[in-house]
Amino acid sequence: MSLEEKIIRQVHELAESKKAEVLNFVEYLKAKTEEKDWSGFSLSSAMRGMEDEDSLYSLHDLREVFS
């Protein structure tokens, strides 16, 4: 018996209110996975092509002296 079949069998035995909780949890897991994938895709898309650009600043520009 596959893992999916075991899950389905267990869900069938639950009360309707508990089935709704299982559905909410599954939707949460899917959304969490999609968010992670989207943010990685978004960052890589935003930075695409910039790796070959010349830097506008040097390390000297980033330093600040406090007295």
The string of pLDDT tens digits covering residues 9-66 is 999 999 999 999 999 999 999 888 776 555 556 777 777 788 788 888 887 887 776 7
pTM greater than 0.75 (yes/no): no
Which amino acid does the sequence have at 23? L
What is the pLDDT at residue 36? Answer: 59
Q: Which residues contact 41 (CB under 8 A, 6 or more apart)?
A: none
Alpha-carbon gap, residue 23 to 12, rounded angstroms: 12
Tokens 């909410």 correspond to 24
